Amino acid sequence: MNRINPNGFFSLSCFVNGQKIEREISSSRSLLEFIREDLGLKGTKEGCGEGECGACMVLLDGKTVNSCLMMAVQIDGRELVTIEGIKGKDGGLHPLQKTFMAEGAVQCGFCTPGLIVASEALLRRKPKATLDDIKLELTGNLCRCTGYEKVISAVDKARRSRK
Amino acid sequence: MEKLSFVGKSLPRKDALIKVTGRAAYADDREFAGMLYAAAVRSPRPRIKILSISDARARHTSGYVTLVTYRDIKGVNKWPVVMQDYPFLPEKEARFAGETVALVVAKTAAAAKAAARLVEIKFKELPFIDDPLKSLEKDSIKIYGKDNIISSFVVKKGAVDKAFNNAAYVVEGEFSTNYQVHAYLETQGAIAVPEPDGGVTVHSSTQCPFYVLDAVAAALGLPYHKVKILQTVTGGGFGGKEDVPALVASHAALCAAKTGRPVKLIYGRKEDFQSMSKRHPGWARVAYGADKNGRLIACRVKYVLDGGAYATLSPIVLWRGTVHAAGPYKIANVSIETYAAATNKVPCGAFRGFGQPQICFAQESLIDELAAKIGMDPVDFRMKNMLEPGDKTVTGQRINSSCGLKELVGVVRKRSGWDKKKAEGFRLKAESDKARGIGFSATYYGVGLGAKGRYLDRAGALVNIYKDSSVCVNVGNTEMGQGALTVLAQIAAETLNAPYESVRVEEVDSSKVPDSGPTVASRTTLMSGNAIIEAATPLRGRIFKTAFNLLTAKGADFSRPMVASKGAFSMGGKTVTFREVTAECWNLRQKMSEQGWYAAPRTTFKMENGQGDAYVIYSYSADAAEVEVDLKTGVTKVLKIWAAYDVGKIVNPRLAMGQAQGGILQGMSWALYENLVYKNGIMVNPNFTDYVIATTADKPEYDITFLEKPYAEGPYKAKGMGEVPLIGVAPAVANAIANACGARVRLVPLLPEKVWKEIRMMKN
């Protein structure tokens, strides 16, 4: 099915943070631009624009992707979760958000949304993730402030609280 | 001493909630109606004569608005920072590859970037210099002043030549260190919004809003009261957002002034690498002399920093390196000569440690070499020679009682199992591919700006208590991730006896508080903390008096002392809350708003001979690193770092621990991995793919101890924390590698190939 309209725009249909979204977008739009500029979801950050830092990480069908490296048209029919969609069961703070705060895993905070998204993907996939699993999973998320210790312990504590 | 309610406790970070939910608004997250976007046009070559700049092709880009060059500068084309040699936009000559030559403004960020690529600079290439040591040679081409020297300092004491002649043991070595990129996760950015009265409001990601104020006012030719700087939530600084945000913000402001519209300028990562400040590459030749008893008697240092194309902060960075160059030791005969040399490369400036890590790597490595030559344990040697209260530094400054260095060394020695591990070191066994070793370092750090920056060493604060008892504090120093908003709220809450939850510290608004100097030099807790205490003290007087009166009116037994704790006041069995007391203060029409001011005590220092009191107070650290070296590849893995710090009273232990861990990893990452490469004046690897920083996989185990030696002048006896943890890591790692396998590498980063080469040379 050709979904490019006469103006050269693509009719995109996807789920974002649980809501159905339909937009006409330029096929050259990156997923990060779509999230930040078209949807106005500013919690997803651009740290490098080339997939090295993880600040723009989001969940696509439950798996992490660097949104700066994908085109928006690639998420057609799929389910996107950004930091704004990471919530606890009661609609309040997610366990990871609580442990990141309690452990002191937040400093400048620019990498934090990406780290929480990556950690959520890990804990969904591996509810019994070990400290080594956490370390390995988060190698794609650069943080220049914390020295990672408190980040790792925050993820570990959130894992325990999920039991 | 009175029991503290809020200071010294790991209270929750004020800004954590907005950060974990993604709601924190960094510069790029802010939008304004009618906003345009700017992108920089950059010099492609190390040194060019600009013949013309043309937008003939760029203007056909859809959404193109205008080109901004030096001709659009209504004010002075001179960025007001230290030496004032850096134009906002160059007129005739661009001095490094990546320097902003012009700006393009367009309706979208993508259009601005596309159009910027189409702007044509016609230029003539000029001869350039990319090596700081060659730059200092007599017959080098001159690119900066008459001798290419941006700045130069000395410390001279005693009779150095004679002392070296008399020394029983002498060691000498040449050391060098490469750049370090700040790699703050948020790149530089600013938004300038024109105001109807011809003024401008600038939203800036910055450590130093008042540097931004100086620069924007100068570039636009506006009086300061028409320029307002609002600091945005700042995604990391580490010194990288000290001076250069003023340049970025001024560029945005020039674009806004020309178009009359809000203009956003956000850097991409590559241009941030190429044009923003860095830790200076350093080169040093150091010699130490000791007598037959292992007492340090002489030190000679020549220290050169690669300043880059403009001075920016090089003179101050160099000065800090100069006065700390001999290490935290008692030495009677000292000669230190230092130079910041100009090259046609990116201008270097502030980075956590500020000129100390480079020279500390050299001198703390060489201290180990000297101890080995004498046949002493390197920790014993340090113990014997290190500064204690009452001793004099190499600048002749007497160390006061707030000095716990010797205890720090003892703590790290014990906790790391130094004596046992040291004895086991140097396991270069043929049958094993891996060797473990342990290394040590000791450092000191002058807190605040010191004698060289004394005119800037003051800070203001504004404390407002509202009718509902909530408290708003404005300060002139910034939150950049280190936790200033939290620590300063704790200090305000403590002084006022206000509940911590009711205190809010705002990000800096330059129109609300006086120029408080930069947020650097580990000075914020000390300077802004003291300014808050000064503002809060008269309020405290009114509140405490009113509380006493309320309690008395309630029939409290006033023969008993009133106790103020955790936001409540009690006396003789009765209690009133901070809320009740401040409501009464308002009823009585008492003044519930005060300003505070703190100026650092005077320092006395003679630049001619480098003698005098360089800084008002010092923080201290001791580090031990345990490493495993792969003897086949030279790859070093840091297993564990033990560190102990004397930074005075710890206001928030959890945040202090975060600063320590983060500082250690930055230091370790610089020591082992970070390798920025220039080839023929062009930066080769301006990205995170080819410039590698530490990840979770590289994280060592941390063992951190705080010894709180009270500093009488500090807020609740605190000194300064931010930079100390980084400084001693590299030499501790280098010394550990030497202990593990005998390889003495005098080059940071301690790359596998360098370690491997040393191992090979020993085998042959």
* Rounded mean pLDDT, B655-661: 98
Q: Do residue B687 and residue A142 have CB atoms under 8 angstroms apart?
A: no
The DSSP bridge partners found for residue B303 are B284, B338
pLDDT in tens, B302-350: 999 999 999 999 999 999 999 999 999 999 999 999 999 999 999 999 9
Q: Which of A52, A146, A150 sits opposite B689 (nearest CB)?
A: A52
In B543-602, the residues whose Cβ lies within 8 Å of chain A are: none
Q: Do B184 and A147 count as a contact with CB atoms less than 8 A apart?
A: no
Q: Are strands A79-81 and A9-16 parallel, antiparallel or unpaired?
A: parallel
Confidence at B1, pLDDT banded by 50, 70, 90 = very low
Give chain B's end-to-end CA distance (angstroms, integer): 64
Over residues B14-59, the pLDDT tens digits come to 999 999 999 999 999 999 999 999 999 999 999 999 999 999 999 9
Q: Which A residues, 68 through 127, put their C-beta within 8 Å of a C-beta on chain B?
A: 82-84, 93, 96-97, 100-102, 104, 106-113, 116
Of A42, A84, A135, which is closest to B696 when you measure between CB atoms? A135
SS3 B146: coil
CB contact under 8 A, B13 and A104: yes
When the pLDDT of each residue in chain A is averaged and rounded to a whole number, the result is: 96
Strand B503-506 versus strand B471-475 pairing type = parallel
- The stretch B498-509 carries a mean pLDDT of 98
Query: What is the C-alpha separation between B479 and B532, in angstroms, rounded?
Result: 15
Portion 222-261 of B in contact with A at CB < 8 A: 233-238
> How many Cβ pairs closer than 8 A exist between chain A and B?
160
- State whether residue A150 sits within 8 Å of chain B by CB: yes
A142 neighbourhood in chain B, CB within 8 Å = 183, 185, 688, 693, 695
Give B325's contacts (C-beta < 8 A, 6+ positions apart). Answer: B155, B284, B286, B301, B303, B336, B338, B359, B363, B394
Contacts of B241 (CB under 8 A, 6+ apart): B182, B184, B188, B205, B206, B207, B208, B234, B480
pLDDT of residue B431: 59
Q: Which residues of A touch B232 (CB under 8 A)?
A: none
Phi, psi of B385 (to 5 degrees): -110, -5
* CB-based contacts of B16, cutoff 8 Å, min separation 6: A100, A101, A106, A109
Q: Do B695 and A45 touch (CB under 8 A)?
A: no
How do beta strands B169-177 and B747-748 pair?
parallel
Interface test with A, best of B9, B10, B15, B20 (most A CBs within 10 A): B20
- CA angle at B725 for the pair B752 and B714, rounded to the nearest 5°: 165
pLDDT, position B427: 58
Model pLDDT for residues B375-403, shown as the tens digit of each residue: 999 999 999 999 999 999 999 999 999 99
| Tokens 């046992």 found at | B420
Bridge partners of B338?
Answer: B153, B303
A109 → chain B, closest CA residue: B19
More confident site: A5 or B235:
B235
CA–CA dist A116, A136 (Å, integer): 15
Is residue B225 over pLDDT 60?
yes
Measured in angstroms, the CA of A123 and the nearest CA of chain B are apart by 17
The whole-angstrom separation of Cα B97 and Cα B46 is 4
pLDDT above 60: residue A1: no
Chain-chain contact of B21 with A97 (C-beta, under 8 angstroms): yes
- Taking 3-state DSSP, the helix, strand and coil percentages for chain A, each rounded to the nearest 5, stand at 40, 20, 40
Q: How confident is the model at residue B516 (pLDDT cuts 50, 70, 90)?
A: very high
CA dist B235 and B187 (Å) reads: 8
Contact B236 A52 (CB under 8 A): no
Least Cα separation, residue A108 to chain B (angstroms) = 3
Interchain CB distance below 8 Å, B481 and A42: no
Q: List chain A domain ranges.
A: 9-84, 95-162
Residue A42 at interface with chain B, using a CB cutoff of 8 Å: yes
Q: Hey, is the C-beta of B189 within 8 angstroms of any chain A C-beta?
A: no
Write out residues 4-33 of A within 8 Å (CB-CB) of B.
none
Q: DSSP class of residue B398?
A: B
User: Does B478 have pLDDT greater than 80?
Assistant: yes
pTM of the entire predicted model: 0.97
User: Which residue ranges form the domains of chain B, and what is each CATH number?
Assistant: 35-126+188-266 (3.90.1170.50), 282-451+606-763 (3.30.365.10), 458-599 (3.30.365.10)
Domains A9-84 and A95-162 share a fold: no
**Band of the pLDDT at B140, cuts 50, 70, 90?**
very high
* Residue B53 structure tokens: 């700049």
Is the CB of A158 inside 8 Å of chain B's CB atoms? no
Nearest to B461 by CA among B528, B557, B362: B528
For A95-162, CATH number? Answer: 1.10.150.120
Contacts of B113 in chain A (CB under 8 A): none
pLDDT given at position B160 = 98
Inter-chain contact B10–A42, Cβ cutoff 8 Å? no
Q: List, as ranges, residues 43-62 from A with C-beta within 8 Å of B.
A: 43-50, 52-53, 55
Contact A84 B21 (CB under 8 A): yes
Token output for B728: 């001693």
Residues in A closer than 8 angstroms to B664, CB to CB, are 147
What is the secondary structure of B26-83 as a DSSP string?
BGGG---TT-EEEEEEE-SSSSEEEEEEE-TTGGGSTTEEEEE-GGG-SS-SS--STT
CB contacts, 8 Å: A140 with chain B: 695
pLDDT for B422 equals 83
Which of A47, A97, A134 is opposite residue B20, by nearest beta carbon? A97
CA distance B125 to chain A (A): 31
Q: pLDDT band for A163, please (50, 70, 90 cuts).
A: low
* DSSP symbol at B513: S
CA dihedral B163, B166, B170, B173 (to 10 degrees): 40
Inter-chain CB proximity B235 and A53 less than 8 Å? no
Option in A104, A141, A142 nearest B658 (CB) = A104
Interchain CB distance below 8 Å, A147 and B24: no
Residue to test with chain A: of B14, B17, B21, B234, most A Cβ within 10 A? B21
Strand order in the sheet with B574-577: B563-565, B568-571, B574-577
Q: Is the Cβ of A153 closer than 8 Å to some Cβ of chain B?
A: no
Residue of B nearest to A53 (CA): B688
Average pLDDT in the B3-20 region?
A: 97
The string of pLDDT tens digits covering residues B296-314 is: 999 999 999 999 999 999 9
Q: What is the pLDDT of residue A5?
A: 82
C-beta atoms surrounding B275 within 10 Å: 24
Count, in order, helices (H) and strands (E) of chain A. 5, 5
The predicted model gives B1-13 an average pLDDT of 90
**How many Å lie between the alpha carbon of B375 and the closest alpha carbon of chain A?**
36
Nearest-by-CA chain B residue for A37: B29
Binary contact (A45, B17; C-beta < 8 A): no
Contact: B183, A49; criterion CB under 8 Å: no
Q: How far, in Å, CA of A32 to CA of A13, rounded?
A: 16
Say what the pLDDT of residue A6 is.
80
- Angle between helical axes of A149-162 and A95-103 (0-180°, round to 10): 140
Residue of B nearest to A107 (CA): B481
Calculate what percentage of chain B has a pLDDT beyond 70.
99
Q: What is the mean pLDDT of chain B?
A: 96
Would you call A83 and B26 a contact, using CB atoms and an 8 Å cutoff? no
Q: Min CA distance, A3 vs chain B (Å)? A: 24
Q: What distance in Å separates the CA atoms of residue B390 and residue B387, rounded to the nearest whole number?
A: 8
Question: Does the beta-carbon distance from B699 to A83 stay under 8 Å?
Answer: no
**Quick check: B583 and B542 in contact, CB under 8 A?**
no
- The whole-angstrom separation of Cα B484 and Cα A18 is 37
Query: Does A154 touch chain B if contact means CB atoms closer than 8 Å?
Result: no
Class for domain A9-84, per CATH?
alpha beta
| Cβ–Cβ below 8 Å for B21 and A144 | no
Span B416-441, pLDDT tens digits: 999 998 877 655 555 578 999 999 99
Nearest to B185 among A108, A136, A140 (CB): A108
- What's the alpha-carbon Rg for chain B, to the nearest Å? 27
CA distance A111 to chain B (A): 7
pLDDT over threshold 60, residue B704: yes
d(CA B252, CA B256): 6
CB B457 within 8 A of CB B517: yes
Point out which residues pair with A69 in neighbouring strands.
none
Contact between A144 and B16 using a beta-carbon 8 Å cutoff: no
Token pair for B191: 């938004």
Confidence (pLDDT) at B432: 75
Pair of tokens at residue B713: 């002048």
Inter-residue contact B257 to B186 (CB < 8 Å): no
Q: What percent of chain B has pLDDT over 90?
A: 96
Q: What is the mean pLDDT of residues B590-610?
A: 95
Alpha-carbon span B460 to B683, nearest angstrom: 41
- How many whole angstroms separate alpha carbon B653 and alpha carbon B9? 6
Number of CB atoms found within 10 A of residue A146's CB: 27
pLDDT for B31 equals 97
Euclidean distance between the first and the last CA atom of chain A, given in angstroms as a whole number: 45
DSSP B149-162: EEEEEEEEES-HHH
Task: Give the C-alpha separation, B37 to B245, whole Å.
Answer: 17
- Helix (H) or strand (E) holding A113, with range, is helix A112-125
Strand partners, B392: B398
Say how far apart CA B713 and CA B182 lie, in whole Å.
31
- Residues 6+ positions from B173 with CB-CB distance below 8 Å: B285, B286, B287, B362, B365, B366, B369, B746
- CB-CB contact of B542 with B473 (8 Å): no
- What is d(CA B96, CA B85) in angstroms, rounded to the nearest whole number? 14
3-state secondary structure of A153: helix
Residues from chain B contacting residue A143 (CB–CB below 8 Å) = 185
Residue with the larger pLDDT of the pair B452 and B564: B564
